[in-house]
Structure 1
Amino acid sequence: MERGRKSRAGSRPSDMPMRVQDSNRMSMVYTTPQSKLPSFGKLSMSKPPSGTSERRTSFFGPRTSGASMPRNSTMAGFGGTEKIKDSRPLHDKSFVQQCIRQLHEFLTEQGYPGTLSAKTLQSPSTKEFVKMFEFIYRQLDPTFEMPNSKVEEEVPALLKALRYPFVLSKCSMYSVGAPHTWPQALGALMWLIDNVKINWSLSKQELLLSDFCEDTANIEEGAEYNKLFLDYMAETYSKFMHGEDVFEEEDEAFLTKLKRLYNVDEALLESMEEKHRFLSKELERLEKESQTDRLMTKRMEKVKLQADLKKLQSYRSKLETFTASLENKFSELTDELENTVSHLETLKHERNELQHLLQNQKFTPADVERINREKRELQQTIASLTKSLEDAEQHRWNEEIALAKVKETLDLKVAEYHKLARKLKLIPMSAENACGHDFEIRSFECGTGSGVQQKTQIKMLLRKLISDVEEENSRLSNLKLSLEESCEQVNSNIVDKSNDLKQIREQIRKLDEQLDTDMQKLAREEQDWAAEVESAENHLKLLQKKVNDGYDEAVQELKGAQQQYHLVLQETNEERRTVANNLVSVFATAATHLAITEKCLEDLHSRVQRLCSKAIEEDEAEVQNLRELLKSFLSEANCL
């Protein structure tokens, strides 16, 4: 009871609209509202939701107007049914994507049974939207079951029953995934999710504070509270319409009346506040104890040791890397030293050989003079050859420069030619217009003769290609003219065929009607045949029964005759022969009658079967012909 009184008392002043917009409140318009514990007096409590409390909250409509609210506006609870404009930016792509993410997170967290993907939530079908709506609604009512029929009427009706402040039309349910419809449907789902979260929050508060209203949970539903609340709202709204924004006197008077109505115990509130202060001080004292300080010290030391361990591990990895690099360098230096030692041994061996050769050779002065003379002559020859080589190199350099310029010009022309040939699809050889010929100009590696020959060959191929293109162009022009004539002819044929198609459809309709009448006639004939067969079978059974009865009577008469035969055997032989002849004639007549009857029944049965089979075959043939004719008409219509 205390919790119910305090929640109503503390939450009423916040229901009034403000003229100055609150930036924090406006920033939270499109997010899920968090549960707040309103305060009454000095203790914060709350009350679980109820049907009437929800009706009272929405009695004057949503708070969509602040400073811009007109003074002469009527209250939504007493006025007409004017539509409320949705202030959410539902046509903003970023806001829509944010809502889609929140919807995906909510469905994933709550274990949605269907398949979810970002592509599905961008433009879902009506069936998927109904499944999501049913899943979210079951969070409010676990026993809810969505009907199989008239879903497009049921969903707006449920939202209206939940007092959804905006309109979701029945027509929009036929195409929920459309770009102009999905934002409104998404806004309705987000509003429903907000209601679910609010319901969860209030349910948790009810579990935490359930002992405050065990016997008087519905005390606010009385007529006295409704009268107080309506008087308070009428008075504050009247002052609001006259330009006032603060209603402290009315709030205090309303709180006083509520305290008087619910018998609020101020002493109990003060004692609980004192207990709360004492517990807070005890908690602060316990947090400042040495044991907690030592724990924090140990935790800090643990963090430092973990940091040192990470540093040591990184230093160890660096040392291992440096050791591996030193080992690689040592192995390289060892290999280089071995190679140097082997090379040194080889040089020593060569030096010894050269010294031995120098010591063993002998030259005369004449040989030395001759060698010097030959040396001078060779030096003069080298100088003259060096000069001629320099001149030849200079001439070659000049020729190479000129050749490079010519080659550069030629390369530019060849590049332009190759570019144009690629546009015309002439190169490479596998191109569309190359026809297996090589139109590419390559570098003149084999001399000028090969270049001229290649140029002549390409010119011949290009002339042939130009003539082929001109012939193809003329042929395509003629073909275009013929195709235009054919197109005109086809269009006229299409018009004719469309008329024929109308006639054929009319014939098909008449044939369908004729077929229906024939089928009904055939069914009636089959019923008649079945009745005739049944009557023939009944007649056959009757005849069989009569033959059996006659046979039984004849047997009985035979027995009686045999008994009499024993009695009158002694009377006369003539009478005996007479009796015997009579008996023989009776049996012969009965057998003949039985044979004739069976033969007549067999003939009748075979004749009935022939008539039935013949009629069925004729009807089936006629139906088959009608079906083939219908198929031919349909095929001709499809071809047209």
Structure 2
Amino acid sequence: MNRASSSRLSELPQRVESNRMSMVYATPQSKQSFGKLNIPKPQSVTSERRTSFFGSRGTGMARNSAFGGTEKMKDPRPLHDKAYVQQCIRQLCEFLSEKGFPGSMSVKSLQSPSTKEFLKIFEFIYCLLDPTFQMPTSKVEEEVPRILKDLGYPFVLSKSSMYSVGAPHTWPQVLGAVVWLIDTVKVFCCMSDQDLLFADFSDGSTEIEDGVEFNKLFMEYTAETYNKFMQGADTFDEEDADYLAKLKRLYNVDEGLLTSMEEKYRILSGEVERLEKESQTDRLMVKRTEKVKLQTDLQKLQSYRSNLESFKANLENKASGLAEELEASGLQVETLKQEESRLQHILSTQKFTPADIERINWEKRELQQTINSLSKSLEQAEQHMWNEEIALAKAKETAEVKLAEYHKLARKLKLIPVSAENACGHDFEIRTSTEYGPSTMVQCRTQIQQLLRKLITDVDEECSRLTDMKLSLEESIEQVNSNISDKANDLKQLREQIRRLDEQLEQDMQDIAHEEQKWSAEMESVETHRKLLEKKVTLGYDESVEQLKAAQQQYHLVLQETNEERRTVVNNLASVLTTAANHLSIVEVSLHLAPNLPLIFILFLALIFLFTITT
């Protein structure tokens, strides 16, 4: 939308009143954000069709779009202004150094860059939009204008301008396209850093941040009114009323406060008018006003006098230069005439060959051409001298008129005659050169200049003193305002910190209460579990005591049975040993009777006998 910087895109007569634009921008918020559209105020022109750099619409539309058509747009930027071109070059150089351009670029090298350097710069800037871009090796003169056209560059960049980029007639247009591409990159970088263009809109409860809500309302209003405009509508009263209502709701506008402020403004305006009328009768104010006027007139007179002197000096220099040129031309003409007579004499007294005659004729033609050119130069010099004399006469007439104005102004300032109030006994009157001699004229001019300089010095000293006093007072006021704003900011920060601490304290109290409830519930559950464990332990202890008593009784019974069995075993063992001893005696006797039986068989029988007895 920033492409239309100053001229109206539509060339049809404007049907909607232009004062509606002031209503669109009449928002209570003075802060401007990046996201707001910069739409210029339309200006009506006399043409019978609308143009566009977005292409023509279909035939089914109610009217041609304000952006429709194929007519070439004229670039409103002053690309032929050297100062503007230098500004664009500095902007390009700063952008390249900021983004880390790999090559070495300076303002001097960008005055007339080569095509190779331009392609490197273009590829580097376009890679900021598309990192995968690579400059093609062929047909570059067609590729670069095509890329700019695809990006939406509203002006035509010819293919022939790519062959000689650094030419004086080509480089400003190419530089304008590069600067537009830089602006596009900056807009792209800013937009890519934003997560969301429009936040969710609520009924006045959302905090306005960087004008995002205003942008959303403005876009909705623009789209709705433009659709109705394309359908043939010329007035949008309902949309305007709805848009103003939304703005008032968005910015929390208080109608009562506005009314009271208007009434207060009316009262203050009346008071100011009354004070201004009263101040008009103040003689001191009148004198001060006259003093300011006189100082202004004196400055104008001084500047006019300096201009007149410089103009006179220039005329004198030009007249002396023309006289010298005229004298030199006359001498050159006399020299050429003498040379011609000498050559004529030589030609009449000597015999020449055909080659000499041809050479002499050729030299004669050259000399004739030189004479013609010098004659023309002489005529031009005479004409110039005549013009300068006329201009000098006019300058003298003008000087006389200015001298009369000077005398009139001096009389108003009471500097003329000598007995005037501000003359202080000095003669400020300037007479013509006919009334003075040359030395007297210079002396009078020097004397008047000294007196005027002294008078100007006195006035300037008084003005300087008053100006210094005013500046000191303004600095004091500015310092006080700065201190007030700093203290207000500090107070705002302290209030914000107090609010945050209150919120943190409230949150901590809620967390502590929640923790106390949690711990009390856990204590109740632990207490219940403890009581249940105590009950279970008591029951288990009683059962263990009963089991211990029963085990002790059973132990006594088992101990008695064991003692009985032990006595029985001891008795049986004693009987076994007695029997074994008897058996051994019997075996010994048997061994004496039967010595031939194997000893092993005897022992085996003894073991069997013992086993049987034991069992």
What is the TM-score of this pair, normalised by structure 1? 0.28
Greater fraction of residues in helix = 1
What is the TM-score of this pair, normalised by structure 2? 0.29
Bigger RCO of structures 1 and 2 (CA < 8 A, at least 6 apart): 1
